[in-house]
Amino acid sequence: MSHLNSIIRDSDIVCIDKLRMDRKASHILASLATNIGGLTDTNNMSSTEKLAMFLNILAHYEKNRSIKVDYIRSGWSVSQAFNECLRAILKLTPLLLVSPNPVAEDETDDRWKWFKIGALDGTYIPIRVRTIYKPRYRTRKGDIATNVLGVCDRNLNFTYVLPGWEGSAADGRVLRDVVVRRNGLKVPKGNYYLCDGGYTNGNGFLSPYRGYRYWLRDWQGDNPPPQCREELFNMKHARARNVIERAFDVLKGRWGILRSPSWYSVKIHTRIISACCLLHNFIRREMEVDPLDMETEFNMEHQHESEHGNIDTAEPSDEWTTWRDVLAQSMWNERSSN
């Protein structure tokens, strides 16, 4: 108890370092995990202690043997507490997973006034698998990892996450799968997500022009400004779509368990990834300032799903390509008139 109290009662600095959230947020999470997630006290361990051990493992990828020494618990007790907390956090999905909120027509933020909803991308999370499965999980760089599709809004909150695909799977293949799943990614018609050139440019998914400068570093330093409408579109697209890369950077920076291959099974590891994304959203909701993203403001507006149907394909579209040309020309015309 003295070790637990030194974390959750004495100082926000210590609490953030150990659990990645301040004392107030940790108490709120404990309440949610108990009242909604079903986490319970046992004769020898409180739900607060279980949650503290769980967050400590996620944040620092602490081994079971280290946690049992710090909390003076058996390895079996630590393992049981971890699994109980994982189930409790996943039960908070409807509460913590943010619904997409389309950008308003009168948006003044230059990065987003041309675009809608948010951005998506894939990222690799290292895992350990049996030798016979390694070819399926081997990425182009030779790492053994799972390909995680993440979708976020412009405030770095995750709106959808799909972990579990093999590292060898192409991003486009993952996207085509996710839009036809019963509980997959829902893109309200009339809206779209920004994605990079690894995805198709089709209804609901807006990718940049290929063959033109795109990455942010291409516009920095002594590099010339955009020379045509395609380059201008790519520059604005990259600046807005960068939000998903920042979200992944913050997520991995916050949870050490996502930076190294763990000994958990693939099934458990995919659940851990989902839980980390939910906790990421929770921290951004409950803490006025996210310690890992000082520049991002938090938006607490209530979200609602569109009632006009969803997009259920991820295929290239000539009509969508023509619409992209019209959007790029509008950007170029506005730039020329200023």
Whether residue 197 lies inside any domain: the answer is: yes
Cα distances (angstroms) measured from residue 89 to each of 92, 203, 254, 309: 5, 34, 17, 30
Regarding whether 236 and 170 lie in a shared domain, the answer is yes
pLDDT of 109 reads 82
Per-residue model confidence as pLDDT tens digits over 286-318? 998 877 765 433 332 333 333 334 544 556 677
- 283: closest CA among 182, 106, 141, 155? 155
Helices (H), 145-219: 171-178
Regarding whether 19 and 130 lie in a shared domain, the answer is no
Whether residue 105 lies inside any domain: the answer is: no
Per-residue model confidence as pLDDT tens digits over 192-239? 999 998 888 888 899 999 888 888 788 787 888 888 999 999 999 999
Strand partners, 193: 118, 205
| Single pTM value for the model | 0.87
Regarding whether 197 and 248 lie in a shared domain, the answer is yes
Mean pLDDT of the chain: 86
Whether residue 103 lies inside any domain: the answer is: no
Please state, for a pLDDT cut of 70, what percent of the chain lies above it: 91
Regarding whether 133 and 86 lie in a shared domain, the answer is no
Regarding whether 194 and 236 lie in a shared domain, the answer is yes
Q: Which domain holds residue 25?
A: 2-91
Q: Which two tokens stand for residue 193?
A: 């997500």
Cα 40 to Cα 84: distance, rounded to the nearest angstrom: 9
Regarding whether 224 and 126 lie in a shared domain, the answer is yes
Strand partners, 291: none
Tell me the CB-side half-sphere exposure of residue 219, using CA atoms within 13 A. Answer: 17
Residue after which a domain boundary falls, among 74, 91, 108: 91
Per-residue model confidence as pLDDT tens digits over 121-174? 999 999 999 999 999 999 999 999 999 999 999 999 999 999 989 999 998 899
- Statement: residue 90 has pLDDT above 60: yes
Name residues whose C-beta falls within 8 Å of residue 52's C-beta, 6 or more positions apart in sequence. Answer: 4, 7, 8, 18, 19, 26
Regarding whether 218 and 151 lie in a shared domain, the answer is yes
Regarding whether 213 and 79 lie in a shared domain, the answer is no
- Total domain count for the chain? 2
Q: Which of the 8 DSSP states describes residue 215?
A: S
Regarding whether 47 and 131 lie in a shared domain, the answer is no
Whether residue 272 lies inside any domain: the answer is: no
